[in-house]
Amino acid sequence: MPNSSAIKVSMPMPNVHASGRLIITNILYSVIFSILANCFIFINDSVLLIILAVVIFLVLDLTAGFKSVNTKSRLLRLCNHGTTLLISFCASIVVSSIMHILLYMDVIGHTGNELIGSVIFCVILNVILFWTGIICVYMTSIQLGIKTRVLGIICGPIPVANLVMLSIIIRTALYEIVLESEKEKIDDNRLSKQICATKYPVLMVHGVFFRDRKLMNYWGRIPKELEKNGAKLYYGNQQSAATVAKSGEEIACRIKKIIEETGCEKVNIIAHSKGGLDSRYALAHCGVSQYVASLTTINTPHRGCMFADWLLGKISNGVKDTVSNAYNKCAKVLGDDTPSFMDAVNNLTSEFCTEFDKTTPLPEGVYTQSVGSVMAKPGSGKFPLNMSYMFVKLFDGKNDGLVSENSFEWGEKFITLEPCGIRGISHGDVIDLNRENIRGFDVKEFYVKLLSDLKERGF
């Protein structure tokens, strides 16, 4: 265990409260839509008034909520539009139910045809209100996720369950709207400071079984947030599965290429998972430490995974070969030159990493630090890490779904990301793999603070 200084960090989300303007406009639209959807019984004698009511309803259905949230994002505005319509739909359904119960009980005078006409009019307008809202939210909300979307569709025809899912959808979308608009305000206020504009550019190194791609960034929303605050980013571009030595050589070549193309003298490395081992190898054995100002490892298995040792010992050679060959074929199609699934897995065992630690000392003249996080319980986090957590815990104790907390610490400084609430922070959460806003942990802000600290240190 290295003699690093350990600190615990909690990076909570900003205080998220709906603005008075947003609350008032949602109430206002709810009242207006409820009145329009239930006005037929009072205006059925005038075709002109019915047409006017429908026109006003449709205009509001297309415009409501666009200007009630303070954001530059069109998608966020459209999401707020959809949320406003769904909130108005819920209010309208309550009012419509009460209204037609009163009509049915003859508390409000009417004829049989007027009651039927009112029901048809009300149902049509509420159906329009619901579908416009749900389509807008489904199309624009990032935080809603596939699971919630699917459950929303499945529960749609089921009484009570559909109302529960609708409330979850509204709460999720509304939290996203308020949070992201608040984050946007924070960024705007500090934009001129460029707090992530480090002296040297940042090389972000991915972990095993992934590649760097433009369309599906390994680091989620983090790069955009860092660049917005002044960071200059590059990516490792190493193969998805190879030995630590092979990947380390590829990273070393990448560092030299960046230096050659930009003349930047050095780079800061932020490496996740196996990428941390690959980067350590590059610095210790490939002669590039003089080109690196700092190395930060994120949830890297510096002492390996005992679960990997056990798993490799239990699985037959036939199964290993089948899985390995299948992965390697797919990896070649996706861009790897010489992928090696088994080599990558073998280099994550505690046996390998123990020996690797002995032959790979801390690089001289390079600032080194490590970050680690753990999940709070098996059910926290996304699949499959919520499942693997239980197995890893049997062998390694507390973990992030893949790597134990005893394996993270390395370098001069060790940062522990404390689990907030009942969720915790998984191996994927720490790189924003699922693009999820986790209550109690602002992953984008954590990396902003990480680079801001490197900048203050002169790197």
- Examine residue 12 and say whether the peptide bond preceding it is cis (omega within 30 degrees of 0): no
Q: Where are the domains of the chain?
A: 20-187, 194-456
Compute φ and ψ for 64, nearest 5 degrees.
-60, 135
Instruction: Give me the CATH code for the 194-456 domain, please.
Output: 3.40.50.1820
SS3 state of residue 453: helix
Q: Give me the mean pLDDT over the 115-140 stretch.
A: 94
DSSP SS3 for 164? helix
d(CA 109, CA 376): 60
User: What stretch of H or E contains 295?
Assistant: strand 292-298
The tokens describing 35, both together, are 């009145």
Q: Give pLDDT tens digits for 177-230.
A: 988 988 888 888 898 999 999 999 999 999 999 998 877 899 999 999 999 999
Burial group, residue 294, by CB count within 10 angstroms (0-12, 13-18, 19+) = buried
Q: What is the DSSP letter of 413?
A: E
Average pLDDT on 95-105 reads 86
The model's pLDDT over 44-59, given as tens digits with 9 standing for 90+, comes to: 889 999 999 999 999 9
Q: Provide the terminal-to-terminal Cα distance of the chain, rounded to the nearest Å.
A: 26
Give the residue-averaged pLDDT of 129-133: 96
Residues in a beta bridge with 203: 234, 269
Handedness of CA 396, 402, 406, 410 (dihedral sign): positive
Which stretch of 16-25, 124-133, 335-344, 420-429 has the lowest confidence by average pLDDT?
A: 16-25
**Contact at 8 Å (CB) between 66 and 83?**
no
Measured CA to CA, the distance from residue 178 to residue 26 in angstroms comes to: 13
62 has a pLDDT exceeding 50: yes
Q: What is the pLDDT of residue 113?
A: 80
* pLDDT tens profile 287-314: 999 999 999 999 999 999 887 888 788 8
Burial class (CB in 10 A: 0-12, 13-18, 19+), 117: middle
Q: Say how far apart CA 223 and CA 229 lie, in whole Å.
A: 10
b/e 43-79 (16+ beta carbons within 10 angstroms → b): ebeeeeebeebbeebeebbeebbeebbebeeeebbbb
Q: Can you give the pTM of this predicted structure? A: 0.84
Q: How far apart are CA 287 and CA 36, in angstroms?
A: 73
Rounded to an integer, what distance in angstroms lies between the CA atom of residue 394 and that of residue 374? 15
Please, are residues 316 and 290 in contact by the beta-carbon 8 Å criterion?
no
Contact between residue 34 and residue 90 where contact means Cβ atoms under 8 Å apart? no
Q: Are 35 and 4 in contact (CB under 8 A)?
A: no
